[in-house]
Amino acid sequence: MDHPHERHRLATDTDDGMIVIFSGPSGVGKTTITRAVERSIPGAVFSISATTRPLTPADVDGVDYHFVSEEQFQEMADRGDFLEWVNLFGKKYGTPRLWVNEQIARGRLVILEIDVVGALKVKAQLPDAFGVFILPPSEEVLLERLRARKREDEAVIQRRFAEARREIAQAHAGAIYDRFIVNDVLDRAIDEAVSSVSGELARRRAGVR
C-alpha cells in the first residue's frame, strides 16, 4: 500500500531537482532576492506555504499563501502534510510536503523561504537541500530598515530586531547554510544569490548525468 505522502513515479520524472532554502531576518530583503532567483533560473518554482494568517487586501490566495483556518492547518499537521511548520507571532506557516516532492522529481529547483527553525527541520529530512542565509550589512542598518517600513510601532520593531539577532546567531552556529550573502547593494546580492544557486544546481546535474 502506498504511503499517503508518496507519489507514483511518472515517465517524465528526472530526479535531478534541488531544494534551496532561503532564510534571513525580517527587513533583510530576502523575499526580493528569492523572487529574483525564481525569475532568473529556468525551472525554478517558489513553494507556497499554508498559513493561518488572515488574508489581507494585498494577498492573493494560492499565490502568496494558501490561507487556511486553524482547524484545517492542525488537520494537515496531524496528517504529516508539512515538511516543516512553525508558529510565528501567533500565526502558523507550513511547507507542503507532497508538492515539494513532486517538483523535485520533475527536476525543478524548489525555493523555500523559511526561518532557521523550519530550515533545521527540512535539512533533517532532506539533507541535500542547499541553504542560503541573507544577512544585513550591520545590525544598525537592519534596525533602520525595519523602522523605514513604517508598518509597526516601536515595541514590535524592537521585538523583531531581537528575533533577528537571535536568528542570525543561530544561523551562524548551525550547519544548515552553505552560503551567507550580505544584502548591502541589492543588485549585487541578487547576482550573488543567482550565481550561487545556479552554480550548485549545475554541479549536481553534472554529477547526475
Q: What's 28-73 look like in SS3?
A: CCHHHHHHHHHHHCCCEEECCCEECCCCCCCCCECCCEEECCHHHH
> Which of these, 35, 43, 19, 18, lies nearest to 134 by C-alpha position?
35
pLDDT score at 209: 45
Q: Where are the domains of the chain?
A: 18-208
pLDDT score at 160: 87
The pLDDT of residue 2 is above 90: no
What would the pLDDT profile of 126-142 be if each residue is shown by its tens digit? Answer: 999 999 999 999 999 99
The pLDDT of residue 80 is above 50: yes
The percentage of the chain sitting over the pLDDT mark of 90, rounded to a whole number, equals: 67
Mean pLDDT, residues 24-51 taken together = 93
The pTM (predicted TM-score) of the whole model is 0.85
Instruction: Name which residue leads in pLDDT, 62 or 202.
Output: 202
pLDDT score at 208: 52
Pick the CATH number of 18-208 from 3.30.450.40, 3.10.20.30, 3.40.50.300, 1.10.1060.10: 3.40.50.300
Find the range with the poorest average confidence among 55-59, 70-74, 80-84, 137-141. Answer: 55-59
